[in-house]
Structure formats: structure tokens, C-alpha cells
Amino acid sequence: MDPRALAWLGSGVAIGFAALGGAIGIGTIFARAIESSARQPEALPLVQRLMFIGFALVEAQVLYALLIAFMLVFKKA
């Protein structure tokens, strides 16, 4: 099989699974944040702060995978 084709296939698989994991993580974070701020509206600033840190940390993993995908797509030979 052509190595370029394998690289493209790999980049698709990489970003697909990364998006799956990121979607689960971000969904959980926001669901819990909404839940807890509905239960305790006065805790909203703290919840919001932790929520954005968690969001950024989860998103970073997906973006590492995106970087790997780019590296695979633009791989020479």
C-alpha cells in the first residue's frame, strides 16, 4: 500500500478518535458545571473558573492529535 495513503488514513483515524474523546470530556465538564451551578447558583464563579481550566485541558489533548494529523497529512514521501 502507498505510504502516503496510509498516512492520510492514519491522520483521519487519529483526529476522529481524538474528537470522540474530546467530545466526551467537554460534554461531561459542561454538563457537570451546569448541574452544579443550577444546584448552587452562588458557586457559579468558582464553577466557571474550574470549568474553563478543565475545558482548556481537555481541548489541549484533541489539539495534540490535530497536530499529529497535520504532520501525517503534510508528510513528505
Query: Does 43 participate in binding other proteins (rule CB under 8 A)?
Result: no
Choose which of 26, 66, 68, 73 interacts with other proteins (CB under 8 A). Answer: 66
**4 contacts other proteins (rule: CB under 8 A):** no
Q: Which long-range contacts (CB under 8 A, 24 or more apart) does 11-18 make?
A: 11/68, 11/69, 11/70, 11/72, 11/73, 12/69, 14/65, 14/68, 14/69, 14/72, 15/65, 15/66, 15/69, 17/65, 18/61, 18/62, 18/64, 18/65, 18/66, 18/69
According to the binding rule CB under 8 A, does residue 49 interact with other proteins? Answer: yes
- Asked if residue 60 binds other proteins (CB under 8 A), the reply is yes
* Under rule CB under 8 A, residue 19 binds other proteins: no
Residues that bind other proteins (CB under 8 A): 45, 48-49, 52-53, 55-56, 59-60, 63-64, 66-67
